[in-house]
Amino acid sequence: MSLNLFEQTVYDYVKGHAEERQYWQHKVRAILADSIETPAAVARIASELWRYYEERSAVVPTLGGTGRAPGAGRISMKNLAELLVRLWAEPRPGKPLPAQPGGHS
């Protein structure tokens, strides 16, 4: 999966700061638990990541140094949201596997 510069910067920051990582792990899992469909959860997480980026980039120099022009439009965080879902989603129960012929009971 390829992340854009902004997504990669946020990911590196979160990965390198335990409190931020724990916050996002909890947030991703909570959003997934509240959502019926994964695509809707990803969209919500992406939106939350963008708000986080805007807020934190004002006070964290490593986040603000991505060359974004003031007043520029929103940058997609969808790939990062999908990555975080893959990394941190609690496994959901799936369909039981069919019994194997000749298996032991």
Asked if the structure places residue 95 within a domain, the reply is no
- Print the SS3 string covering 52-77: HHHHHHCCCHHHHCCCCCCCCCCCCC
Asked if the structure places residue 93 within a domain, the reply is no
Q: Which of 50, 46, 51 is nearest to 35 (CA)?
A: 46
Count of domains for the chain:
1
Asked if the structure places residue 80 within a domain, the reply is yes
The pLDDT value recorded for residue 101 is 60
Per this entry, what is the length of the chain? 105
The pLDDT value recorded for residue 3 is 94
Asked if the structure places residue 96 within a domain, the reply is no
The pLDDT value recorded for residue 35 is 85
Q: Cβ neighbours of residue 17 under 8 Å, at least 6 residues apart?
A: none
Range of the domain at 22: 5-67+74-88
- Written as tens digits, the pLDDT of the chain (105 aa) is 699 999 999 999 999 999 999 999 999 999 999 988 999 999 999 999 999 998 998 888 888 765 555 555 678 999 999 999 999 987 666 555 566 566 555
Asked if the structure places residue 103 within a domain, the reply is no
CA-based R_g, the chain, Å: 18
Asked if the structure places residue 94 within a domain, the reply is no
Residue 87 near residue 21 (C-beta atoms within 8 A): no
Residue type, 46: A
Asked if the structure places residue 97 within a domain, the reply is no
